[in-house]
Chains A and B, each alone.
Chain A
Amino acid sequence: AQRVTQPEKLLSVFKGAPVELKCNYSYSGSPELFWYVQYSRQRLQLLLRHISRESIKGFTADLNKGETSFHLKKPFAQEEDSAMYYCALSGLQGGSEKLVFGKGTKLTVNP
């Protein structure tokens, strides 16, 4: 079964500090991993996906298959990064693909 674990429900950092949001996954096949973000009063939206290997808003995430992790990192956090972050995994289960989310981490960047 697919499973995504985000161990931190809350994460608080100061502006300019590095930030890392942790994500671990459980999946027997080759996963497709994503980070979605939900800013206050906005809809959930895609932040980045591992397959594109891009940096969005200064965030990067590297898939580590050995550690089954897909941690989200940013070297210098900004106040506008405060939001709810969800790690998600897309994979085949029972012949059809599912998109499963972790429970989310609420990031607060303090001035």
Chain B
Amino acid sequence: DARVTQTPRHKVTEMGQEVTMRCQPILGHNTVFWYRQTMMQGLELLAYFRNRAPLDDSGMPKDRFSAEMPDATLATLKIQPSEPRDSAVYFCASGLGGVGTEAFFGQGTRLTVV
């Protein structure tokens, strides 16, 4: 049963520290999304990739956030420096791309910045 895997599942860090979240998309999927989930804003699209190339990262605060796909089996989302307002659940999803195709979600990384 192929699934999107995210690590770590939980992360507590101090303000100012660097945070790296990792995602392993489903093998063969060429599209990867990063979302942030909060009570107030719901699911916000931060960035997404097609064939490892960033297509859109307009939802991401550029000064502190960065997203990369070093290879087809790994996507990373980094926050440096982290702030308390970054506390949220971060989801990765992958899919076969194209309008109308299903996105398969990981279990998320719950980030708490104190």
Contacts of A93 in B (CB 8 A): 56
Residues of B close to A6: CB separation below 8 A:
42
Q: How many A-B residue pairs have CB under 8 A?
A: 54
Proximity bits, B97-110, A CB within 8 Å = 1, else 0: 11111110111100
- Produce 1/0 per residue, B33-49, CB < 8 A to A: 10100000111010010
Is the CB–CB distance between A43 and B108 below 8 Å? yes
Q: Mark contacts of A85-111 with chain B using CB atoms, 8 A cut-off: 1 yes-contact digit, 0 otherwise.
A: 010001111101111111110000000
Kindly report which residue of chain B lies nearest to residue A38, judged by CB atoms.
B105
Chain B positions within 8 Å of A94 at CB level: 56
Q: Out of B4, B33, B42, B50, which one reaches A99, CB within 8 Å?
A: B33
Question: Is A74 an interface position by the 8 A CB rule?
Answer: no
Check: A45 CB closer than 8 A to any chain B CB: yes
Minimal beta-carbon separation of A3 from chain B (angstroms) = 12
Query: A101 near B43 (CB under 8 angstroms)?
Result: yes
Given A94-B56, A101-B35, residue A49 in contact with residue B41 (CB < 8 A): no
Is A51 an interface residue, CB under 8 A from the partner? yes
B50: chain A residues within 8 A (beta carbon): 96
Q: Once the chains are docked, how many angstroms separate the CA of A97 from the CA of B48?
A: 10
Closest-CB distance, B67 to chain A (whole angstroms): 15
- B residues near A (Cβ < 8 Å) are 4, 33, 35, 41-43, 45, 48, 50, 55-56, 91, 93, 95, 97-103, 105-108
